[in-house]
Amino acid sequence: QVQLQESGPGLVKPSQTLSLTCTVSGGSISSGGYYWSWIRQHPGKGLEWIGYIYYSGSTSYNPSLKRRVTISLDTSKNHFSLKLSSVTAADTAVYFCASWSILIGYEAFDSWGQGTMVTVSS
């Protein structure tokens, strides 16, 4: 299993764009076998899937966030990134990156980053 680590600003102003990066170690982001994903958790609440990117560049997003989300990857740096535009206080959450295994019969989020808290406030 790979290891993942999120990084990025912990404070974002309303209406601005939230930007986070997830660095992957212990494996190549280009190797296939995983959808590289973002998930968030509002304070004291459950988990919300944001979207994923595959090494080919194909993406899939949660319809509830699709208008504002962009996930990209940089194979040279072995990392992938999340951009969420026009943020409001409702986007305040812990953001996790995770690897979704796409192996037939073993589909699951099998590795997670530790999570990073992002607060939207002026």
Partner 1 sequence: EIVMTQSPATLSVSPGERATLSCRASQSVSSKLAWYQQKPGQAPRLLIYGASTRATGIPARFSGSGSGTEFTLTISSLQSEDFAVYYCQQYNNWPPLTFGGGTKVEIK
State the residues that interact with partner 1 by CB under 8 A.
Answer: 46-49, 51, 60-64, 96, 98, 100, 105-110, 112-115
34 or 96: CB nearest partner 1:
96
* Min CB(13)–partner 1 separation in Å: 26
| Residue pair 16/30 in contact by the 8 Å Cβ criterion | no
70 or 110: CB nearest partner 1:
110
* Min CB(47)–partner 1 separation in Å: 4
* Min CB(38)–partner 1 separation in Å: 11
SS3 91: helix
How is residue 92 written in tokens? Answer: 């305040």
Which contacts qualify for 53-60: CB closer than 8 Å, 24 or more apart?
53/80, 55/29, 55/30, 55/31, 60/35
